[in-house]
Structure 1
């Protein structure tokens, strides 16, 4: 008589797979949704807490093969899906309607590829199946319209004479101050006016059921950035830098700014980490080496990824189709998708660790 496998043996098999994003096995991470064992037939359903359209089938096959090796198992059916939950926001702020998570992308200084990173991370989250929006908060140098191939002069529709409808491009809901002003009327505003305009732009846009809203902040760590970090309910932030010593000094200020206002830094992105010669393949660290790793170690945060100094990344963004959509199978697109999964997994872990909200029960006593 063949013994039916025990639940403990099946759980041990599931535990043997370590998720690279949750940095834990899926059982202890709380991803097992259901498990039934009947006459040697095993059915398991798991739900990852981050968008993982590109991973689910592979993870299901890996788990199935591990469970098949358990004594007494006759057949296995494993399904792996994913979900997105809202992570807590800073202070007493309330989460925004229609948006589960806001991720702020910042840099201590300009010219480090922050906007290109924000655009590709938004597209990478969408490529993994999430509903994503992007707000171009770089009032003085808005670039999202161009990066998403939105024609000059495009204006958002207005609903009820009050709300802007975001413009959709590459499956992303996009909103930018550039859609409301013309190139002939440059924005010459003081800090408080900029902050006010951005809060208005954020709250008066009808975001439609977003898992993630990526905000491309202006470069720097001055009043504008500090005000926005205090007033916008942010779930997490990403700091973009290059390995250059000057950029690293400014990136540290960015990390410290977010910490000061209670916004967790999900990680650092290092741009222009290495130059690869297009003719001979020789690699050279033009801006220094290992800077992103040093910041990550110093502040005990993750280095989400390093990207090369690449003409392709710039040209594709300039032409309105960033790398993740123009070359979705390229190594660089895969780096962005890996970074997006790391970010999203960290947000889900924060959701898991958030204290439960007490429920009020009222009786007649």
Structure 2
């Protein structure tokens, strides 16, 4: 309060402007508003609830049913990207100065780090006994010969290609012949190797269970062959190599996440690997799905991803212009992943993937 002195008494009195009825009413209003204003724990309760729901959603993703539009598989395909909601909620919590929202955010942060934190660090090791690579070269590739030359320059020991068209096949064979003296093409998939191949055969991943499945002509079956199995002769012994291109997965407004063909192929491929006698196995291919997707349980229960074990980052491969998911895979059994990486873009809409393995 401003102090003034009267001319007669010299005593200090208050400024009348600060003691009037209007000022007292304003003070009362401010006191009432302060009393009703929520504290930092009560502010942002909606944000806190959203943070808890996000954490539970990621934590319990395996419980999301697939009965309606394969929703569970769709969520698991893009599961890492749910982490983008965390900084959005964090910004809201800071803006609202909400302690409750900040505390609730620890749940999705811990869940996301538990699921994917291991992918953020480089787990690769120098050196390997064998390098392998896989690439969906795309049936619409405008420059197959150029793609083949780029892949040959990567100088891996074993190279798998998927989505080979009859028109492009001679171009790949010609451009890769010098670097890879051994190769096999079965239907739309092929393998080029610096080491001898043996026991090559197509693998039926169509899961044809109809009454005429076994009576189809060989030429018809070969035209739809999307997987093969061969043995690579290494200095350390035989290595069973599978190359596969599973069916497509599509998001349809009416059908949801359509993966029927892919899922049947994954089951058939899992059975083929389960019957494999060789302890050392490598699977190369475009599986049209991430290994977080429960549809690949028959495969991931037997093989481990080189990207998860020895990669640096998520290793997304599709679409090539701005990769958001890793659907091109290298999985192994009986060998040690030393490194895993993506190769530069080619004329395809997929990125090539490569890995180094040791015995």
TM value normalised by structure 2: 0.30
Decide which structure has the larger Cα Rg and report it.
2
* Higher normalized contact order (CA 8 Å, seq sep 6+, divided by chain length): 1
